[in-house]
Amino acid sequence: AAATCGGWAAVCDKFRTARTLSTVESRKDPETEPYRSKYSARALLQEVKQLLSAAEEGGEARLLAVRRAVLEYELGVNHTDTEELSAGEEHLQRCTQLLEPHRLSPDCVSLYIQAQNNLGILWSLRDEIKTAQTYLESAEALYNQYMKEDGNPPLDPSEHFMAEEEKITDQERSKRFEKAYTHTLYYLAQVYQHLEMIEKAAQYCHTTLKRQLEYCGYNPVEWALNAATLSQYYLSKQCFMEARHCLAAASVIFSQAGQVPSAEDNETEQDQQDLRQRKAEIARCWIKYCLNLLQSARKLLEDNIGELDPDRQLELKAQRKKEEDEKEKGRKKAVLFGTSDICDSVLAIEEKVSSVYPLDFQEAREIFLVGQNYVLEAKEFFQVDGYVTDHIEIVQDHSALFKVLAFFEEDYERRCKMHKRRLDMLESIYVDLNPQYYLLISRQLQFELADTYYEMMDLKIAIGNRLEELDSHTIKKINSLAQLAIKYYELFLDSLRNPDRVFPEQLEEDVLRPAMVAKFHIARLYGKLITSDSKKQLENMQTSLEYYMFLVDYCEKYPDAVRAVETELELSKEMVGLLPTRMERLRAKLCPFI
Amino acid sequence: IPGVSQVALRIRPMSAAELAEGARPIAHRVDEQVVVLRDPMEDPDDILRASRSREKSYVFDVAFDSSATQETVYRATTRGLVAGVISGHNATVFTYGPTGCGKTYTMLGTDGEPGVCARTLGELFQAIEDASGDTEYEVSTSYLEIYNEMIRDLLNPSLGCLQLREDAGGTVQVAGITKISAISAEEVSQRAPMGHGGGPANPPLPGAARLPQVLQVLARGNRQRTQEPTAANCASSRSHAVLQVTVRQRRRGGGLRRGRLFMIDLAGSERAAQTQNRGQRMKEGAHINRSLLALGNCIKALSHRASTKYINYRDSKLTRLLKDSLGGNNHTVMIAHISPASTAFEESRSTLAYAHRAKSIRAT
């Protein structure tokens, strides 16, 4: 060991200076010399290395080896940071070699794991991601083994260059050790993602978030956003329980942000603005949650004409009773953001909305209302002025919430009311939109408006059919709805024309189906228009026929299009066969003597 | 790239593979300086561009297509640098572009169609042959590869990995690299080469035999380049090959001048290209981000697979080596390469945009 106390203190000082240069000073290095401080740090580390090898006589071989290992580690990281990967690798390998026989002991384990973390990073910089994976998984395994076999807070590597009285507390040691392991898991999350092992990546991201709460220190706004974003991943996998948990935790942690007094006296206007925006973004994630849950339930419950199937409903309700919540409890435990102080708050939010599929109107309505509340919250920030696209997407989500709720509603009149709400909100944003600059959104709105009018018209007809006879008021209503649906379908089809106002010969893949459906619906709508004027009726039938013919002709010309519109095509072919005959009969009635 | 004084663009001929997959040519050289790239697909939702042409034109200092010979390209780009190097200035020629678009062909060429390197060396050797009696020249050549931040001497790969060293004058050298020298004096002398070194110098080669022998050595060196079996074509795609030619001039009566010419065959640029949100998505670089601040990006990417990756070049080995060549007393020529095929549209567009931007960068 180094000869005198004073000598050792000097060595420690040098080491610490080197570390300060590397971590603190280096951030201030100018762009033209980005590694200036790191090179200086390197020189100091080399000096320390020299001093250590000079002090080789007698003394603790083990202690010396560990100290050397610390230097090799620092040099390894230093070279990696300055993009000298082969030198970096050499040093890090030497570090692990020195520690190998003692890697499970408290004075070495943390350093060993950190060295492996850095080797993982290094190999990733060489685009050898599988090699990176082996190092990181090895670090992971070592942590688990250490915790199982020993578990005591191990020495932090920096302690090897500290005087006795400076050594840190067990609590601090544990904190730093856990932080190192959190990084191992975080790096593995990135690795799994690059290897397209998405589920595993998500799991490790989740664990990282969890550990940030427990060990790492975190920025509440950032953490909340990350948790909310992770919930969207879970939604894509239909894992509603996990999604809800993430969102609830996000909401709870986010609210912490408001409470923490900021460093400066008054938060700037910009900060306040940012906070409001983040809140609204989390609200949007909640909207997606409610929408997804309702829509997934719909898929399970609908029959082949899109109506709620009562048998399926009974089946699923029975199944729900039987289902283990043991399994659920197990899953929940795995993902629990479990720090005691937030547990209760998170639970409180979770209890406000279900995470199981709603199976009837009551249950659907509850979820709908939660979603609607978040719509209002999101719209507070994402107003039309300044956030057109975001605002419209929120309105579209609101409309979708109504649409899916209508599915669960049995009463047709009440369904109509829901669709009317949709029409109002969609039309009010559509009317102000410039179709030249918002082409895609314009089309979406046109189509959705047309579809909604179509749906409403069908409902009115169904309602009317229950009565003995359609009264003139209802007829007028039906016709008006049909005309409006036609109007919007036509607007949609017009938007597909090229700048010379010519309808494309062949339709692009992403507009093929909607265009065909539009044509098909228009054909059907002309067939539904009610008029006492036979001549008008004949005209409508002729128009209807022309639109049905369009589908048939197009699919003949472009057979690839068939699979996009199979059902509609079949019906169109039928109508093309039937209509001419009907029209003949009608013509004969009009002019019986010709 | 600091101080680019000339940007050239070369479109190679369509390859057999491209023709076989039914690709159409979408890049054309319109005149001596203009290249036009046509977008093979139309985005129906892109109303702002629907009425505009799908073609974009780029103006360079000089443009070549498959009708240009190696000699043409050499004359238009590098030849003009030689005189400067001989009189003591520095210069750099880069080839840039995705793998398989002709960078190595431009730089090294083939036996029958030698590229820029061979022609430059030929010109240099000729110049020193023609030199008057009171000026003595020495041309020394090194050929190295930078791969994964490791420097390898392609003329002596067994040396393993070499280090950079900065000398008192601020010049960055590769310690221990092989230099092949040739001196203008008629007699073959065993004189040690002028100036500093750090590595073994081969004895100067006699007279007219010099050039072909040097070229042979370079060809051997090129075969030593790191190959990757998974690369798009057979050539190495991640190694930069740097041919360094130093010309030392000593006049009788004093004055020692030194000019350096770097000819660099850059690694395939396809990794540096940004992905656009259309059909084709390229695999991003798999670097691990140290900072937990990037956790958000990781999580976002779980739901959307593709994300653009911006690669930061910062004080990397290549730039350090060229430090005294770039900036100030120098001339830099970039020869960008693209394929004319419709299947390479994204890469071509990136390369053209990048090269075009390089045109507006001038050394201060």
Q: What is the mean pLDDT of chain B?
A: 72
What is the percentage of chain B residues whose pLDDT exceeds 70? 67
Q: Give the per-residue pLDDT at A418.
A: 97
Give B-chain residues touching A207 at CB under 8 angstroms.
Answer: none
* Residue A55 confidence (pLDDT) above 70: no
Query: Rounded to whole angstroms, how far apart are CA atoms A368 and A144?
Result: 44
What SS3 state is found at A264? coil
* Residue A321 confidence (pLDDT) above 90: no
What SS3 state is found at B94? strand
**Least confident stretch, A440-449, B138-147, B335-344:** B138-147
Q: Which helix (H) or strand (E) holds B331?
A: strand B330-338
Q: Give the per-residue pLDDT at A264.
A: 56
| Distances in whole angstroms, Cα of residue B210 to Cα of each of A528, B122, B129, B140, B207 | 92, 9, 11, 12, 6
Query: Rounded to whole angstroms, how far apart are CA atoms A417 and A549?
Result: 35
Q: What is the dihedral of CA B183, B186, B187, B192, to 10 degrees?
A: -10
Residue B121 lies in a domain: yes
Of A126, A205, A436, the CB nearest to B295: A205
Q: Which of A233, A246, A441, A512 to mutate to test the interface with B (most CBs of B within 10 A)?
A: A233
**Amino acid letter, B93:** V
Give B-chain residues touching A439 at CB under 8 angstroms.
Answer: 45-47
Size of interface A-B (CB pairs under 8 A): 99
Q: Give the per-residue pLDDT at A217.
A: 81
Q: Contact at 8 Å (CB) between B87 and B249?
A: yes
CATH of the domain at B158: 3.40.850.10
The alpha-carbon gap from B317 to the nearest alpha carbon of chain A, in Å, equals 8
Of A127, A226, A233, the CB nearest to B295: A226
If you write DSSP's letter for every residue of B214-230 in order, what string do you get? Answer: HHHHHHHHHHTSPP-TT
**Residue in chain B lying closest to A219 (CA):** B293
**Least confident stretch, A224-238, B44-58, B190-204:** B190-204
Residue B41 lies in a domain: yes
Q: Which of B270, B302, B309, B314 to mutate to test the interface with A (most CBs of A within 10 A)?
A: B302
* Residue B214 confidence (pLDDT) above 90: no
What's the DSSP call for residue B180?
A: E
- Spell out the residues 6+ positions from residue A320 whose beta carbon is closer than 8 angstroms to its own: A356, A359
This prediction's pTM: 0.66
Q: Give the per-residue pLDDT at A510.
A: 80
| Distances in whole angstroms, Cα of residue A475 to Cα of each of A28, A457, A481, B126 | 77, 10, 10, 98
Residue B228 lies in a domain: no
Task: Tell me, yes or no, if A221 comes closer than 8 A to chain B by beta carbon.
Answer: no
B75: how many CB neighbours lie within 10 A of its CB? 12
Residues in the annotated binding site of B for ATP: 97-104
Which residues partner with B262 through β-bridges?
A: B92, B244
Residue B364 lies in a domain: no
* Residue B234 confidence (pLDDT) above 70: no
Q: Give the per-residue pLDDT at A117.
A: 97
What's the DSSP call for residue B158?
A: G
Of B150, B302, B317, the CB nearest to A193: B302
Lookup: tokens for A29: 């290095």
Q: Give the per-residue pLDDT at B313.
A: 27
* Residue B272 confidence (pLDDT) above 50: no
**Residue in chain A lying closest to B303 (CA):** A233
In chain B, alpha helices (H): 16-20, 47-50, 70-77, 79-86, 103-107, 116-130, 210-223, 295-303, 317-321, 345-359
Query: Kind of pairing, strands B150-153 and B135-147?
Result: antiparallel
* Residue A502 confidence (pLDDT) above 90: no
Which residues partner with A70 through β-bridges?
A: none
Q: Look-up: residue for tokens 């940030």?
A: A212
Q: Give the per-residue pLDDT at A407.
A: 95
Q: Contact at 8 Å (CB) between A465 and A416?
A: no
| Distances in whole angstroms, Cα of residue A421 to Cα of each of A102, A299, A451 | 70, 23, 14
| Helix A412-430, helix A388-408: angle, nearest 10 | 170
**Mean pLDDT value across residues B310-334:** 51
Higher pLDDT, A43 or B122: A43
Residue B150 lies in a domain: yes
Cross-chain residue pair B303–A232, CB shorter than 8 Å: yes
If you write DSSP's letter for every residue of B222-258 in order, what string do you get? Answer: HHTSPP-TTSSSSS-SS-EEEEEEEEEEEETTS-EEE
* Residue B205 confidence (pLDDT) above 60: no
Segment A410-465, tens digit of pLDDT? 999 999 999 999 999 999 999 988 887 888 889 999 999 999 999 999 999 988 88
ipTM metric: 0.77
Band (pLDDT 50/70/90 cuts) for residue B169 is low
Q: Contact at 8 Å (CB) between A309 and A356?
A: no
Band (pLDDT 50/70/90 cuts) for residue B138 is confident
What SS3 state is found at A443? helix
Residues in the annotated binding site of B: 97-104
Of B287, B295, B301, the CB nearest to A186: B295
Q: What is the count of structural domains for chain B?
A: 1
Higher pLDDT, B8 or B306: B8
Q: Taking a contact as any Cβ pair under 8 Å apart, which residues of chain A between 68 and 127 contact chain B? A: 82-86, 120-121, 124-127
Q: Contact at 8 Å (CB) between B29 and B63?
A: yes
- Spell out the residues 6+ positions from residue A130 whose beta carbon is closer than 8 angstroms to its own: A195
Residue B77 lies in a domain: yes
Q: Contact at 8 Å (CB) between B226 and B239?
A: yes
Which residue, B260, B268, B205, is CA-closest to B237? Answer: B268
Q: Give the per-residue pLDDT at A393.
A: 93
Q: Give the per-residue pLDDT at A409.
A: 96
Residue B214 lies in a domain: no
**Mean pLDDT value across residues A165-170:** 88
**Mean pLDDT value across residues A329-339:** 78
Query: Rounded to whole angstroms, how far apart are CA atoms A546 and A528?
Result: 15
Query: Rounded to whole angstroms, how far apart are CA atoms A575 and A570?
Result: 9
Cross-chain residue pair B286–A212, CB shorter than 8 Å: no
Give B-chain residues touching A187 at CB under 8 angstroms.
Answer: 288
Q: Contact at 8 Å (CB) between B117 and B108?
A: yes
Which residue, A227, A170, A233, is CA-closest to A201? Answer: A233
Q: Give the per-residue pLDDT at B201.
A: 45
Q: Give the per-residue pLDDT at A143.
A: 97
The alpha-carbon gap from A491 to the nearest alpha carbon of chain B, in Å, equals 15
Residue B206 lies in a domain: no
* Residue A240 confidence (pLDDT) above 70: yes
Give B-chain residues touching A233 at CB under 8 angstroms.
Answer: 299, 302-303
Segment B1-43, tens digit of pLDDT? 445 678 999 999 998 888 888 888 899 998 899 999 988 765 5
Side-chain half-sphere of B30: how many Cα atoms within 13 Å?
13
Give A-chain residues touching B302 at CB under 8 angstroms.
Answer: 193, 198, 201-202, 205, 230, 233
What SS3 state is found at B41? coil
Higher pLDDT, A155 or B259: A155
Q: How far apart are the first and last CA of chain B?
A: 12
* Residue A290 confidence (pLDDT) above 70: yes
Cross-chain residue pair A125–B293, CB shorter than 8 Å: no
Q: What is the mean pLDDT of chain A?
A: 90
Q: Looking at mean pLDDT, say which of A101-105, A336-340, B92-96, B264-268 comes out highest.
A: A101-105
Distance from chain centroid for Cα A95: 40
Q: Give the per-residue pLDDT at B203.
A: 44
For B282, the domain range is: 4-187+236-359
Query: Rounded to whole angstroms, how far apart are CA atoms A95 and A17?
Result: 21
Q: Taking a contact as any Cβ pair under 8 Å apart, which residues of chain A between 411 and 440 contact chain B? A: 435-437, 439-440
Q: Give the per-residue pLDDT at B42.
A: 53
Q: Looking at mean pLDDT, say which of A264-278, A352-366, A565-579, B99-113 comes out highest.
A: A352-366
Is the torsion defined by CA of A107, A113, A118, A122 positive or negative? positive
Which residue, A242, A239, A260, A262, is CA-closest to A250? Answer: A242
The alpha-carbon gap from B292 to the nearest alpha carbon of chain A, in Å, equals 8
Q: Contact at 8 Å (CB) between A120 and A139?
A: yes
**Least confident stretch, A30-39, A184-193, B155-164, B275-284:** B275-284
What is the percentage of chain B residues whose pLDDT exceeds 90? 10
Q: Look-up: residue for tokens 């040098």?
A: A14
Which residue, A137, A131, A118, is CA-closest to A74? Answer: A118
